């Protein structure tokens, strides 16, 4: 079902209620997602983005409700990732005279994905195309979140279409931010930022400054996933400025896995030490916790304490993925420590500390190890570690 955003401008995308993992199996999407595509029907007709290939027929059916796809003059390919460019072949087949508008960097990625000799026209920041009553103004946004990423601004209607930026993996029967549950919306927007955009936070901040300096009136921000921001649209821009600064909340997070409960007991004692000092603390057992949800918690938290027993001279395989994510995402302004039980060799704490160092997390206390099951003395040391981390958190603020 199509939705009209403004006169002559339509959402022709698709809601994917059923998807529960994205990027293959890399990113959890508990609330589904949508692939947003927009049709501007003027003297010339432009389609901004397509949808993931399994939904190409739905996209074309939506377009046909408004115009014959053969009449499309321009297809804006903001970004080559297949959730947006996957239906390009089908759309170009239906609109063989259309010109594919893309950033210079997208030539590599669009051709790399599709290997087709389409009519391409590259644009750079500030370039525009007149459709008649509306112009499309383009703003390159490299690494938000791929090199090819580009925003499109529709004059007249004053709608910014920033592709992935400001999006959320959030399926809804509704299209606009004032129609949905605000807590769900912001939970998904933050998870999206934390898991996808964190490493590019400096670029996010600069791009927002650049956009604000352009002084464009903004009636709506229409991203390529989730709901469209029409009620106070700049609220999500302000939230992105806040997130890009990566100033964590006064919260602590204990991530752990355990084999025979020794490391769990240590985790709980560390949590007790933090709680004694009034620090909001959450323990996540990583064997039964969604990795991407945990990363959203990491994003918010100032202190990250990670524990694993030693297995085969290293950490448990259930802890390894989040250590790898921490290294890749490079969260800023985090402090932390490591802990774990062991039986004979006991390398896990050192291995965790190496990963935390590589992730840019400042270790503020020596890692704690407990041989076999922790004694009461071990657990008291864990409580002390929690209290010390609470002190380090206060000192760092």
Residue 261 designated active-site: no
> What are the residues whose beta carbons fall under 8 Å from the beta carbon of 11, sequence distance 6 or more?
2, 3, 4, 5, 36, 37, 38, 175, 222, 228
Which one, 87 or 224, has the nearer CB to ligand FEO? Answer: 224
- CA–CA separation, 296 and 29 (whole Å): 13
- CA–CA separation, 167 and 236 (whole Å): 9
With contacts defined by CB under 6 A, how many residues of the chain interact with ligand FEO? 9
Residue 290 designated active-site: no
Give the CA count within 13 Å in the CB-facing half-sphere of 159.
25
Q: Taking CB under 6 A as the rule, does residue 105 contact ligand FEO? A: no
Residue 145 designated active-site: yes
Task: Give the residue closest to ligand FEO by C-beta.
Answer: 81
Site string for ligand FEO, 202-231 (x = CB under 6 A): ----------------------xx------
Minimum CB separation of residue 140 from ligand FEO in Å reads: 15
Of 58, 140, 164, 353, the one binding ligand FEO (CB under 6 A) is 164
Longest CA pairwise span in the chain (Å): 78
- CA–CA separation, 388 and 305 (whole Å): 12
Minimum CB separation of residue 143 from ligand FEO in Å reads: 11
- CA–CA separation, 395 and 303 (whole Å): 12
Which one, 79 or 383, has the nearer CB to ligand FEO? Answer: 79
Minimum CB separation of residue 226 from ligand FEO in Å reads: 10
The stretch among 43-51, 78-86, 317-325, 355-363 that binds ligand FEO (CB under 6 A) is 78-86
Of 83, 297, 325, 353, the one binding ligand FEO (CB under 6 A) is 83
- CA–CA separation, 386 and 268 (whole Å): 10
Using the CB atoms, write b or e for 253-279: b if 16+ within 10 Å: bbbbbbeeebbbbbbbbbbebbbebeb
Which one, 52 or 74, has the nearer CB to ligand FEO? Answer: 52
Which one, 30 or 285, has the nearer CB to ligand FEO? Answer: 30
Q: Taking CB under 6 A as the rule, does residue 84 contact ligand FEO? A: yes
Helix axes 320-329, 348-358, angle to 10 degrees: 20
Minimum CB separation of residue 197 from ligand FEO in Å reads: 10
The stretch among 76-84, 176-184, 269-277, 371-379 that binds ligand FEO (CB under 6 A) is 76-84
Of 16, 81, 94, 148, the one binding ligand FEO (CB under 6 A) is 81
Which one, 145 or 355, has the nearer CB to ligand FEO? Answer: 145
The stretch among 81-89, 93-101, 135-143, 230-238 that binds ligand FEO (CB under 6 A) is 81-89
Q: Report CA-CA distances (Å) from 1 to 13, 58, 64.
A: 8, 9, 11
Residue 79 designated active-site: yes
> What are the residues whose beta carbons fall under 8 Å from the beta carbon of 2, sequence distance 6 or more?
10, 11, 12, 62, 65, 66
Return the residue matching tokens 């990732």.
81
DSSP output for 129-162 = EE-SS-EEEEEE-TTSSSTT-EEEEETTTTEEE-
Minimum CB separation of residue 175 from ligand FEO in Å reads: 17
Which residues are at the interface with ligand FEO (CB under 6 A)?
79, 81, 83-84, 145-146, 164, 224-225
Q: Which residues are catalytic?
A: 23, 79, 81, 83, 145, 164, 192, 225
């Amino acid at each position: 079902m199509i939705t009209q955003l403004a006169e002559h401008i339509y959402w022709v995308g698709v809601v994917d209620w059923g998807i529960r993992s994205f990027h293959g199996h890399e990113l959890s999407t508990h609330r589904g997602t949508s692939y947003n595509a927009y049709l501007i029907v003027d003297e010339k007709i432009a389609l901004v983005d397509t949808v993931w290939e399994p939904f190409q027929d739905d996209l074309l059916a939506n377009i046909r409700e408004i115009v014959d796809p053969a009449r499309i003059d321009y297809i804006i390919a903001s970004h080559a990732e297949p959730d947006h460019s996957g239906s390009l072949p089908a759309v170009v087949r239906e609109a063989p005279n259309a010109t594919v508008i893309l950033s210079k960097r997208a030539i590599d990625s669009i051709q790399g994905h599709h290997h087709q000799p389409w009519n391409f026209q590259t644009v750079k920041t500030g370039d525009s195309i007149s459709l008649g009553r509306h112009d499309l103004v383009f703003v390159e946004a490299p690494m938000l979140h791929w090199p090819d990423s580009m925003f499109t601004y529709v004059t007249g209607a004053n709608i910014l279409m920033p592709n992935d930026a400001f999006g959320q993996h959030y399926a809804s029967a509704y299209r606009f931010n004032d129609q949905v549950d605000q807590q769900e919306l912001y939970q998904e927007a933050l998870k999206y930022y934390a898991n996808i955009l964190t490493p590019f936070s400096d670029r996010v901040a600069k791009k927002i400054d650049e956009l604000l300096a352009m002084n464009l009136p903004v009636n709506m921000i229409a991203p390529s996933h989730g709901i469209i921001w029409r009620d106070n649209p700049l609220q999500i821009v302000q939230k992105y400025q806040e997130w890009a600064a990566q100033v964590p909340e006064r919260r602590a997070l204990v991530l752990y896995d355990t084999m025979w409960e020794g490391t769990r007991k240590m985790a709980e004692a560390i949590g007790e030490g933090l709680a004694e000092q009034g620090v909001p603390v959450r323990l996540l057992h990583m064997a039964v916790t969604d990795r991407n949800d945990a990363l959203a918690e990491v994003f918010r938290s100032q202190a990250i304490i990670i524990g694993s027993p030693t297995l085969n001279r290293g950490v448990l395989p259930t802890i390894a993925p989040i250590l790898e994510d921490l290294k890749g995402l490079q969260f800023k302004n985090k402090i932390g420590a490591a802990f774990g039980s062991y039986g004979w060799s006991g390398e896990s704490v050192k291995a965790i500390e190496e990963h935390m160092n590589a992730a840019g997390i400042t270790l503020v206390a020596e890692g704690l190890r407990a041989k076999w099951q922790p004694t009461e003395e071990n657990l008291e040391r864990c409580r002390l570690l929690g209290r010390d981390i609470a002190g380090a958190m206060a000192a760092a603020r």
